[in-house]
Amino acid sequence: MNVFVIRGGWMWRIVLLFLFFISAYIWYSFQWNVTTAFSASETNPIREIHMVTGEFKTVTADGKEIESYRFSPGTIFLKKGEKVHLQIYGVNGDEHPVIVEGTDIQATVKKGEETVIPLQFEKEGTYRLICLTHTDYEQNGPMIAYIVVD
């Protein structure tokens, strides 16, 4: 009768190998559930990016009310030459006239409405989306979003 004996050093190697295969199987099985967040297709080559206007408001210890307006998200990323529709929904503030610094792009975002701004940059860099109503601290700003083009 033959008996198969596994020594202690080999036992750990077999256990580690078994754990490796189990881990690989679990990782691989989860890959079937991965959902692509964005995929540009030939049928819709224009990507949509959604943004909203927002407001922070508080009262200081001495009773003074302060507020600040912002865009959310505050930074978006584009590829050079990519066509994008920036869709800004006005939530807070009655009206926000905006410009994209370094371009001729201008628009007005109104409360309760969505403003669509077509974007396509041929030059890499960081462009600022600036609200002309809230340009600095005195006007409850600055209300700026950054457009990073790579």
Confidence check: pLDDT of 1 > 80: no
CATH (residue range 47-149): 2.60.40.420
Per-residue pLDDT, 125: 97
Q: Work out the angle at residue 88's Cα, subtended by the Cα atoms of residues 147 and 106, and round it to the nearest 5 degrees.
A: 65
Q: What is the 3-state secondary structure (H, E, C) of the chain?
A: CCCCCCCHHHHHHHHHHHHHHHHHHHHHHHHCCCCCCCCCECCECCEEEEEEEEEEEEECCCCCEEEEEEEECCEEEECCCCCEEEEEEECCCCEEEEEECCCCCEEEEEECCEEEEEECCCCCEEEEEEECCCCCHHHCCCCEEEEEEC
User: In this predicted structure, what is the pLDDT of residue 5?
Assistant: 66
Q: Which residues neighbour 18 within 8 Å (Cβ) at sequence distance 6 or greater?
A: none
Q: What pTM was estimated for this model as a whole?
A: 0.70
**What digits encode the pLDDT tens for the residues 131-148?**
999 999 889 889 999 999
| Per-residue confidence (pLDDT) for residue 17, from 0 to 100 | 87
pLDDT digits (tens, 9 = 90+) for 13-44: 888 888 988 988 887 777 766 666 665 556 66
Q: pLDDT tens digits, residue range 112-134?
A: 999 999 999 999 999 999 999 99
Looking at the predicted structure, is the pLDDT value of residue 8 above 80? no
- Kindly tell me if the per-residue pLDDT of 7 is higher than 80: no
Q: How much is the pLDDT for 16?
A: 85
pLDDT of residue 33: 64
Note the pLDDT tens digit of each residue in 33-86: 666 666 555 666 899 999 999 999 999 999 999 999 999 999 999 999 999 999
